[in-house]
Every structure is written in structure tokens, then in C-alpha cells.
Structure 1
């Protein structure tokens, strides 16, 4: 029988061996729930089969989600702590705009929550893809997705001659977005200067219709109209706005490609890049 001193000596010797008595790496989560439209889509792109047990109800809405078809195969949640706890996730994914009260309650109930910041540029998109791979234990899948994203982005890149054409984003309630936003980044990547930046709205804000008309953009990118009556949409049908776009190109934002920082933004970039090339050919 080994005495106490002998046992201590064995343990001390063992500690010097690589990996001996070191804590095992945490297993990746097996039941992942997402309660945010943008984390829904990143998770669907990267999660292992069967690990994603629920996505937000918005993920199944084709007017908002670029992966509505894939989300239709999954149970949905409405971001309520009560329903989330009953689904017994071992990891909850949330976004920077997710209801903070729900997140705090889940944390008090010892439900692990990972909150992803809102992406406003390519660096933010890449960081969230990599982080999603880490929290899901899918690092290799994340690196593969990043490689495809970077390759697709490179194929869209070119150097438009100066001066660059000017574009204006104009959505419900006259809202416009500048370069410090994801939508503004899409405009910049497509090779346009942004009228919102010229007018002091790099982070976005309401752009008066009169100011928009005087800015005389080369391309107007309008917000999408939705069924039903909403007074905020009426500005998009103003006769003066129709006169501005008469005889010149206009595009409509497809929200699924614009709302979230995912590789799907490159479809929006490709759409605007094609519009820029058409403008150049028309001159």
C-alpha cells in the first residue's frame, strides 16, 4: 500500500505530465436555441445537424429572413423566457437588440446566454461568424464559411472610377442610412458614395423629402412596401419622389439580404453593383 507521502509524490510527479489532471475541454452545446433573427441565420449556417432546437418566429418569415425555408423545419419561439426554459436549451443565442429583460431572467435561471453584437461592417460580420463557430464548437465550419464569404466578396470587388456615383437610401418614414450602418456598408461595397454621409447622417436618421430631392442622387434605393395601410409608407408614394425616379434607375431593398450581418448581404451588394455598372454604360 502506498503511504501518504508516496501518494503525494505520485500526484506531484503526475502534475508535471502534459495534460494530467487538466480540466477537460467543455463539450459543445447539444440543445441550442436562438431568439434573434440574425443569430437564427448564423446558427442555421453553422450548427451541427440536430443541435438547433428552436429559432425565432421571424426566421420563418420570408419578408425578413433569408433562410425562411430552412427555418420552417424547426420549432419557433417568441423570445419569452417561460417558453425558452421549457425547451431546455443548454445554450441560448441572442442579439444586441434582444429584450434585455428576457436575457437577465434567463441568466438568473442559470440558462447560458451568448449575446452577439449588431454588425455594422464586414469586420463585424466576420467576427460574429467566427464567434458563432466557437460557441457552437464548429470552428472548422465557421472558417469554411468565412473562406467562401471572402471569396465571394472578392469577386464583387472592383475600383469604380472617380467620381463615384451617388446613391441615397430612402425607407419608411423617410429614414436613410449612412456608412456607419450595415445598409450603408452595402452601398459603399457596391461602389457608391452615400448621400446620407454628405448630409451628416453617417449613423442614419430621417431625411426630409425636400432635402432628398435637392441632393439629386444618381440612384435611389427605396425601402420595401408591405401589405396593409401604414402611414409611414406613404412618403414612398409621394409624387415628388416618383418624379425624381422617372427616367432614372431605382432599386428596392430586399430586407432579408439587408437586415442581418450574414453572407447574404453579398446578394444586395451584387444587386447594387449591377445597377452601378448599368449607370456607367448608360452615360
Structure 2
């Protein structure tokens, strides 16, 4: 059962404190009053950190339970579609964007003298604390962010205890992609007590894993993506007989995208799910 930051809503070797991520710090008295987020991950970080009424608009993805861990919290907020014209009409004093948000939108907003703060994606569990700290700094909510960081670090330490004989696991997504330990998904896997077969093959962040190589690796667990409705050819590989054969007689898992996609405290739910999966593997040995 999670507490702290996870209840509100890895490798654990490095715990980030609120002083580790330098950024422009805003005092409470100078905190922005009308904040607009144009990125799914900043949507959720802002909903966690912002004071009541401070966040005035988020993206439609924030209210989609498929993609957002905070869909219920976002349901009552006005949405925007990351278009400069509509954002300008919201009269924001701060816009929160991702590093890969459309550059034309960001450049136009800055030409209109609207402050834009950009957030990089999380590539490691340590980035969760860094992103919370950054959000607290730009919103003038440092105390709230520090509380969330402390809760996240405590919950992560509780989940990611020492593991003896670590089972082998493979992450397998649409188009046959996988993730190594230099990725958020890979670190979630490691924190839950699994060894990532992709890392042993030399994968760092993300890359295509040939089906034949996956079959020869014969991992203890194959964790596949959660398919979207429809008939995507990209996801057809996850229904391949080889993948089904690897899962047959083994414990298998499915990635729940909303808990894996952003560097928020909700990644702890993904770790918790995988810890339970590891226990099931160990019980079947």
C-alpha cells in the first residue's frame, strides 16, 4: 500500500532533493495566477503541485483515463489544444510546455510576451523528483513540491528493496520496440526487482527488438503494451504466435500506459504492479 505522493494520486540508487534541479524560482507572493498547460505530463505535474484555482486549462489528454493517471481531477478543468490563439485568449501569466511541444506555438507565445516554461521528459525515476521540484519553483509552490518529493522518495525506497535472484523480463511494445535501463520504463522494471533482457543485449533507452532475438532470450516474463482499440498494424506483432508461446506457461504482464508515460509519482503504481508480478513469478518457480 503506497503512502505520501503515491497516495495522492527507478533505480533507487540516487534520491533527488529539491535543491538538485536549478531553475527560476518564484516566490509565493509573485506566483502566477493563471497557468495554462499544453502538455500531458505538465498537466499532471501542475495538478499535483498548483494551488486551488491557479491552473486554468489543461490538454484534452489530461481527462482521458487511457492516457492520464489524473483523469478524474482534470475532468472539471477547461481544455486547450495547444494553439497559440486560444491560449492567448485565456490570458495566462504562465504556460507550461514539454520540450517537444510544437515550436511554432511556443515561439508565438513568447513573441506575445507570454512566459513559457519548458519541461523535459523523464528518462529516469530520479527525474520525477526533479520535475516536481521544477514545477514547484515555477508555480511558487516550493513547499508543496518538497512534500511530494519526500513522499515519492519514501514510497520508492519502500517498494524497491533488495531482491535476491532477479527474474529476467522483456518489455515489448508496438512495432517490436523495447526499452533498456536508460529509460523511465526500464527503470520502473529494475526498481520492481527484474533484470531487463534488453539491457543485457546492449539497449540503452529504446530500440527495435527482433522477434527472433526475443525468442532466443526466453525471458521469465514478457511485458507487452496495452493495445488501443482498432486494428493497428504496429500492434499486430504483440499477437504473434512467438509472443503467445513465450507467454504460455509463464506469468505475463501488461503495461498500463497512464502510469508509465509521464514522470510523476504515479510511476510508483507501475512499480507496485510489477513487484506483485515478480512475486507471482517467484511463487511459480
What TM-score comes out, normalization by structure 2 length? 0.88
Q: Encode CA deviations 1:206-253: one digit per residue, 9 max, x unaligned.
A: 111111111111111100111111111111111111111001011000
4+ residue runs over 3 A deviation: none
Q: Encode CA deviations 1:74-126: one digit per residue, 9 max, x unaligned.
A: 01111111111111100000111211221111111111000011111122111
The residue number in structure 1 matching 2:234 is 232
1:117-266 correspondence runs (5 A): 117-162=120-165, 164-266=166-268
Which segment is superposed worse, 124-133 or 25-34?
A: 25-34
CA distance in 1, matches of 2:209, 2:29: 50
> Larger RCO: Structure 1 or Structure 2 (Cα < 8 Å, ≥ 6 residues apart)?
2
Residue from 57, 60, 64 that aligns with 1:61:
64
What secondary structure, in the 3-state scheme, does the structure 2 residue paired with 1:77 have? Answer: coil
Determine if contact 1:196/1:204 at 8 Å carries over to the other structure. Answer: no
How many equivalent pairs are there?
259
Q: Does residue 116 in structure 1 map to residue 119 in structure 2? A: yes
Larger Cα Rg: Structure 1 or Structure 2?
A: 1
What secondary structure, in the 3-state scheme, does the structure 2 residue paired with 1:272 have? Answer: helix
What secondary structure, in the 3-state scheme, does the structure 1 residue paired with 2:58 have? Answer: strand
CA distance in 2, matches of 1:97, 1:257: 20
CA distance in 1, matches of 2:28, 2:266: 33
CA distance in 2, matches of 1:272, 1:97: 29
The residue number in structure 2 matching 1:101 is 104
Residue from 34, 48, 53 that aligns with 1:50:
53
The residue number in structure 1 matching 2:283 is 281
TM superposition shift of 1:26:
6.2
Determine if contact 2:28/2:141 at 8 Å carries over to the other structure. Answer: no
- In structure 1, the gaps of 5 or more residues are 1-23
CA distance in 2, matches of 1:157, 1:200: 24
CA distance in 2, matches of 1:183, 1:47: 26
Q: Does residue 92 in structure 1 map to residue 71 in structure 2? A: no
CA distance in 2, matches of 1:134, 1:95: 16
Q: Does residue 78 in structure 1 map to residue 68 in structure 2? A: no
What TM-score comes out, normalization by structure 1 length? 0.89
- In structure 2, the gaps of 5 or more residues are 1-26
CA distance in 2, matches of 1:276, 1:217: 13
Go from structure 1 to structure 2 and tell me whether the alpha carbon gap of 1:25 and 1:238 turns closer, same or farther (over 3 Å shift): closer
CA distance in 1, matches of 2:121, 2:134: 13
